Amino acid sequence: MIEHLYIHIPFCPNICPYCAFYKESAGRERVETFLEALLVEASSWADRLRPKTIFFGGGTPSALSIPQFEKLLGGLHERLDLSSLEEWTIEMNPATVATDKATLLRHSGINRVSMGVQSWDDSVLRSLGRTHDAAKAEESFHILRDAGFDNLSIDLIFGVPGQSLDSWRSTLDRSLRLAPEHLSAYGLTYEEDTEFFRKLGCGEMSPDEGLEADQFELTAGMLGAFGFHQYEVSNYSLTGRESRHNMAYWTGRDYLGLGPSAFSTVAGRRWRNIRETGIYSESTLSGKTAVDFEEEVTPELLTREKAAFGIRTLHGLPLDDSDKWEKELLDMQAEGLVTLIADRWILTPRGRLLADTVAEIFV
Ligand SMILES: C[S@@+](CC[C@H](N)C(=O)[O-])C[C@H]1O[C@@H](n2cnc3c(N)ncnc32)[C@H](O)[C@@H]1O
Ligand code: SF4
């Protein structure tokens, strides 16, 4: 039985200039057809699925209207065995949070929200092209709490040009005052095919690596003082509030992805669905395959991926699984990037800052 289900909802009311996730603007008819296709795809897996975790990601899943949510959530409840469900997360953009929607989601079994606040500084939000301000994000957080969500996560971005260390400190401080259970703090990445990438290329934007390193260090320090442990390079949680869904990815568990552009890894096969929403919907509804890429996940590839993800987590990489990278790990130990604690390789604080570079040796 597959225990982890990802559902990609590719619509956003507004497209942010730094974001490379697969998304498009929502048109009503397109959304209706997409929902029908998604439910057909879900039905086709129903007898192999008993999810412990579900993750609605995007795009902006919270951009769906209440009737659209009723159709989607009702349809999933009808088709899937949800009796083993432990964690059901939805990503929300603060601009799309309202009381009636939050209440419907909570009553339908969703028990965790990851909200894209990004910053509590309005000038940084404008630089990021966000449509909400800090006041709306704070109101949305309270709406979610009042609707009964007791597992809330906030997404933040640091390393934004023009974002001072003081601005980032205030963002961490205001996040902590709201007392979420989980925080994700991502360093801004310049993703290909985004407006920010183009601006980086022509010198209109330039990262300040020293400042970004200071912001990263401040994050672990401030959040640590409030009981948040950094269980993965970009993720901090109170004890027991780690994202179970993401931990399943990082520990190499099988998962099914539904919707356009979603990846799945099941029983040694990995595949990706067609990216374009219209073609995904049409193929699925006409009984054709929605898959546009497939590969075998060999034991060798799985070991590499588990090592690359494992080293980014608090648990690190077990010594027993690290033989083939012994030389590289010893070199990185000499450079102060990794350290051996008990029988596990763990990132040092400097290694956490350069986690992507460290993880590259495994893949
Ligand atoms: C799918 S979005 C979250 C939900 C919703 N769409 C929103 O933006 O509020 C996932 C998260 O990825 C992060 N993210 C996206 N693009 C990023 C980038 N280029 N650099 C760093 N973080 C990024 C943001 O923090 C964002 O909240
Ligand atoms: S960051 Fe969120 S709202 Fe912005 S474009 Fe990406 S998925 Fe859409």
Residues 121 and 42 in one domain: yes
The residue whose CB lies within 8 Å of the most ligand 2 atoms, and thus the one to mutate among 11, 18, 21, 277, is: 21
Residues 316 and 223 in one domain: no
Residues 135 and 243 in one domain: yes
The tens digit of pLDDT for each residue in 324-337 reads: 899 999 999 999 99
Contacts of 281 by beta carbon, 8 Å cutoff, 6+ apart: 30, 33, 34, 36, 37
Tell me which residues have their CB closer than 6 angstroms to ligand 2: 12, 15-16, 19, 21, 23, 58-60, 93, 116
Domain boundary residue, one of 227, 250, 273: 250
**How are strands ordered across the β-sheet holding 263-266?**
263-266, 269-273, 291-296
Domain-located, residue 275? no
Spatial distance between the Cα atoms of 202 and 195, rounded to a whole number of angstroms: 11
Domain-located, residue 342? yes
Spatial distance between the Cα atoms of 212 and 194, rounded to a whole number of angstroms: 21
Domain-located, residue 108? yes
Domain-located, residue 45? yes
Spatial distance between the Cα atoms of 197 and 224, rounded to a whole number of angstroms: 32
Domain boundary residue, one of 219, 250, 281: 250
Considering only CA atoms, which residue is closest to atom 26 of ligand 1?
116
Residues 191 and 324 in one domain: no
Spans in the chain with pLDDT lower than 70: none
- Predicted confidence at residue 47, as pLDDT, reads 97
CATH number at residue 173: 3.20.20.70
Spatial distance between the Cα atoms of 161 and 168, rounded to a whole number of angstroms: 12
Handedness of CA 6, 9, 10, 13 (dihedral sign): negative
Domain-located, residue 240? yes
Other CB atoms within 10 A of residue 137 CB: 25
Residues 177 and 62 in one domain: yes
**Of ligand 1's atoms, which has the minimum distance to the CA of residue 155?**
25
Residues 245 and 319 in one domain: no
Residues 220 and 349 in one domain: no
Considering only CA atoms, which residue is closest to atom 7 of ligand 2?
59
Beta pairing, strands 2-9 & 256-258: parallel
Ligand 1 centroid–CA 1 distance in Å is 31
Other CB atoms within 10 A of residue 255 CB: 21
**How are strands ordered across the β-sheet holding 338-341?**
317-318, 344-347, 338-341
Residues 219 and 332 in one domain: no
What's the domain count of the chain?
Answer: 2
Q: Token pair 């939000």 is at which residue?
A: 125
Closest CA to 152 of 117, 192, 189: 117
Domain-located, residue 280? no
Residues 92 and 203 in one domain: yes
Q: Is the CB of 93 under 6 A from ligand 1?
A: yes
Domain-located, residue 268? no
Q: Domain containing 88: what range?
A: 2-250
3-state helix, strand, coil in the chain (%, to 5): 45, 25, 35
Contacts of 326 by beta carbon, 8 Å cutoff, 6+ apart: none
Q: Token pair 């259970």 is at which residue?
A: 181
- Predicted confidence at residue 315, as pLDDT, reads 83
Domain boundary residue, one of 250, 266, 291: 250
Residues 89 and 233 in one domain: yes
Residues 111 and 196 in one domain: yes
Ligand 1 centroid–CA 274 distance in Å is 21
Q: Is the CB of 338 under 6 A from ligand 1?
A: no
Domain-located, residue 189? yes
